[in-house]
Each structure stands twice: as C-alpha cells, then as structure tokens.
Amino acid sequence: EAGVAQSPRYKIIEKRQSVAFWCNPISGHATLYWYQQILGQGPKLLIQFQNNGVVDDSQLPKDRFSAERLKGVDSTLKIQPAKLEDSAVYLCASSLDPSYEQYFGPGTRLTVT
Amino acid sequence: GQQLNQSPQSMFIQEGEDVSMNCTSSSIFNTWLWYKQDPGEGPVLLIALYKAGELTSNGRLTAQFGITRKDSFLNISASIPSDVGIYFCAGKWDGNKLVFGAGTILRVKS
C-alpha cells in the first residue's frame, strides 16, 4: 500500500513570496491533516479535512495560509505572503476517519530567507 | 490549550542500555500515543494506549498510560543503533484532536 505522498520535499523562498505544497493521502482515507513542525518542536495541527470539508482550522493563520481539498482526495496548502517564521517542515497525514491512526508523509521542508 | 511536557529533551546512551522517557500534562487525555521520527521522514506510530493504567509492549518497547490520564512513559530495552531518532508523545483530547510533546532526541553510542 502506497503511503502519503508530498511534494516538493524542499523549498527555499524569500519572504513575501508565495509557496504551495501538495499532498496525496493514502487511498480511501477520508480524513486529511496538515501539520507545521518548527525545528525542535512537535507537529502542530494547522487544518483537518473530512472528505472535502474543513473540520478544524482553528490554528491556521488565515491571513496568509489557505488550504483546499476540492475533490476529497489530494490537498494543497498555500502560504501567501511567506514570513521568516514560516520556516518549518509541513507534514501531511491521513486516516480512514478521525478515530483511526494517522499516517504521516515525509514532509516538505520550507526555508524562508 | 493542551500542552505536553516531554522529558528528557535528549539522551546519549550506550548500545545495550535501557531507555526511559515520559510525558506529563495538567490536562486529561483519552488516548496516549508514542511516535518515532527519523531524519527527513514523518512520525511513525510505535504504540497506542487507550485506557488508564494500560501497559502495552511492542517488541523492545513498553509504554504505559498513567492512572491519572495525565501522563505516559515509554521504555526501550537493550537499545540498538537503529533506535536513534526523535521520540514524540501525543495525547488525544476533545474526541480526536492530537497534541504533541516537543520530543526526546535519542542518540546511541555503539
């Protein structure tokens, strides 16, 4: 069974630029999560989707971050404009439903200069 | 919000030694999870605990769900070089929301 796929794996941008990350969850997983992991910290949930609907985006900085999962499968996370403090690894995870184990992708390491 | 205090922050041990790490909180959780993260990868679930007082093993790993539901520990017996990595505890609350600790970095001297 293929795992959670993410791209790109690495991205370097200048502050005030825009960036987008892509996630393809495990086939059949209805729940998709985006986490931000700052160096030296544990992952922090940004947004949770159930199929194509948002369940929880309470910790998403909505003035600059947006995410969508239009067809209930793939998802994109966008940052516009980026700030220095957005430098982190962005992890995507998926699960069959919220009560099941979350499987994480390898993450996208973002560096904002 | 919910916060987890994970300790120690890092460990440097001899191969073959046993390892112990723990996680505490002022909040109650209904599930405790332990993950391992290797460099350049996402976290992988090692052990899940669902009941207060539960003691669960997975090979050389043993974890316990504290009786107060506010803490958990993870033990690794007879450490080997591939145990190197970052170990995270995570607590599930308000249904299925996950909060992670800051991690314990494990380094093993061979």
Report how many helices (DSSP H) and strands (DSSP E) chain B contains, helices first: 0, 11
For an interface test with B, give the residue of A31, A36, A37, A89 to mutate (most B CBs within 10 A). A37
Q: Is the pLDDT of residue B47 over 70?
A: yes
Q: Is the pLDDT of residue B33 over 90?
A: yes
Q: Is the pLDDT of residue B38 over 70?
A: yes
Measured CB to CB, residues of chain A less than 8 Å from chain B are: 4, 9, 40-45, 56, 91, 93, 98-99, 101-102, 104-107
Going by pLDDT thresholds of 50, 70 and 90, the confidence category of residue A1 is low
Contacts of B45 in chain A (CB under 8 A): 101-102
DSSP one-letter code for B35: E
Task: Give percent helix, percent strand, percent coil of chain B, each to the nearest 5.
Answer: 5, 55, 40
Q: How much is the average pLDDT of B28-35?
A: 94
Q: Is the pLDDT of residue A9 over 70?
A: yes
Q: Is the dihedral of CA A41, B100, A23, A17 positive or negative?
A: negative
Contacts of A44 in chain B (CB under 8 A): 100
Q: Would you say how long chain B is, in residues?
A: 110
Residue-level pLDDT at A14: 98
Residue-level pLDDT at B37: 97
Residue-level pLDDT at A3: 94
Strand duo A108-112 + A10-13: pairing: parallel
Helix (H/G/I), strand (E/B), else coil: B83: helix
For an interface test with B, give the residue of A9, A24, A41 to mutate (most B CBs within 10 A). A41
CB B61 within 8 A of CB B46: yes
Residue-level pLDDT at B110: 77
A46-92: pLDDT as tens digits: 999 999 999 999 999 999 999 999 898 999 999 999 999 999 999 99
How many CB pairs below 8 Å do chains A and B form together?
A: 44
Residue-level pLDDT at A70: 85
Strand duo B31-37 + B55-58: pairing: unpaired
- Angle of CA points B8, B98, A94, to nearest 5°: 115
Q: How much is the average pLDDT of A4-18?
A: 98
Residue-level pLDDT at B93: 84
Q: Kindly give, in sequence order, each residue whose CB lies less than 8 Å from that of residue A79, ignoring residues fewer than 6 positions away.
A: A18, A19, A20, A64, A65, A86, A110
Contacts of A101 in chain B (CB under 8 A): 45, 48
A92-111: pLDDT as tens digits: 999 999 988 999 999 999 99
Rounded distance, CA B58 to CA B34, Å? Answer: 11
Contacts of A45 in chain B (CB under 8 A): 97-98
For an interface test with B, give the residue of A104, A108, A109 to mutate (most B CBs within 10 A). A104
